[in-house]
Amino acid sequence: MNETELKIRTIGDPVLRKKTKPVKQVTAEHKRMLSLMSRLMYESSGIGLAAPQVGLDISMIVVDIGKGLYKLINPRIVKKEGRQAIEEGCLSCPGISVKVKRAKKVTVQALDEDGRPVVVDAENMLACVMQHEIDHLLGKLIVDYVPMWKKALLGKKIKNL
């Protein structure tokens, strides 16, 4: 994959709706792509980015809410606790923000960029972002949390889903 192909895909792009494939074997190429994704996330002032957002049908995310960078492969939530609702934006849904109800605490199991198993215990904002990015790997976007009546109000903005 060429660096110049790495750009953020926005709503309407079918890659955002595809369920990603898990990585069977972590290679140097995955590590390289995670670095490129992190760079793009920082350049875009994002706090998380999932592989489908850059057109890659791969189960990988990067997250940094200002407390350190996580590069995770095949992340999955193994435990959820509590509830919270935070107003969320998404680099792939420009101009849209949605208050999404999610768990307040999550435990995420994943592989790191070298293929080693890792466990991340996240709460509050970090838990929110982890759940948001893992949603991307399942083809899910914040607009899916908008109730029907509100979708009508948002109208044009989310017409092309």
Catalytic residues: 133
The correct pick among 60, 90, 111, 143 for binding Ni ion (CB under 5 A) is: 90
Q: Residue 54, interface with Ni ion (CB under 5 A)?
A: no
Question: Number of residues in contact with Ni ion, rule: CB under 5 A?
Answer: 1
Q: How far is CA 63 from the centre of its chain?
A: 8
Is 11 or 26 the residue whose CB approaches Ni ion more closely? 11
Q: How far is the C-alpha of 120 from the C-alpha of 79, rounded, in Å?
A: 11
Rounded CA separation 37/140 (Å): 19
- Which segment (4-12, 79-87, 90-98, 113-121) binds Ni ion by CB under 5 A? 90-98
Count how many residues are written for the chain: 161
Tell me the closest approach of the beta carbon of residue 31 to Ni ion, in angstroms: 22
Min CB(135)–Ni ion separation in Å:
8
In the bound complex, which residue of the shown chain has the CB atom lying closest to Ni ion? Answer: 90
Nearer to Ni ion, 90 or 137 (CB): 90
Q: How far is the CB of 28 from Ni ion (least distance, A)?
A: 26
Q: Which is nearer to Ni ion, 26 or 106 (CB)?
A: 106
- The rounded distance, in Å, linking the Cα atoms of 41 and 62 is 8
Cα 95 to Cα 18: distance, rounded to the nearest angstrom: 22
Sites of contact with Ni ion (CB under 5 A): 90
